[in-house]
Amino acid sequence: QCGAAFQGVRNRSGTLGCGNGFYSLKIAKLVGERGKVLAVDIQSEMLHLLKERAKEAEITNVEPVLGSV
């Protein structure tokens, strides 16, 4: 299982164009509580949706980042 490679390590990952966090939240589970995911999008509305979904899923290791073009 590929998730086993991430466990117990302080991993950092990023998603560009994260949207509502579909992949960011999955990656956050893979990197675990000690890891962090930087989720970048240029739309603040999408980052708001990501924050809501992360809160609902009790995921705390995703950091939404507002990007620019």
Residue 64 has phi, psi (to 5 degrees) of -70, 135
Length of the chain (residues): 69
Q: CA 14 to CA 67: how far, in whole Å?
A: 12
pLDDT, tens only, 19-34: 999 999 999 998 888 8
Minimal CA–CA distance to 43: which of 64, 57, 13, 12? 64
Predicted confidence at residue 13, as pLDDT, reads 83
Predicted confidence at residue 57, as pLDDT, reads 97
Beta bridge partners of 15: 39
Tell whether the model's pLDDT for residue 6 goes beyond 90: no
Predicted confidence at residue 56, as pLDDT, reads 98
| DSSP for residue 59 | -
- Quickly state the pLDDT bin for 36 (edges 50, 70, 90): very high
Predicted confidence at residue 32, as pLDDT, reads 87
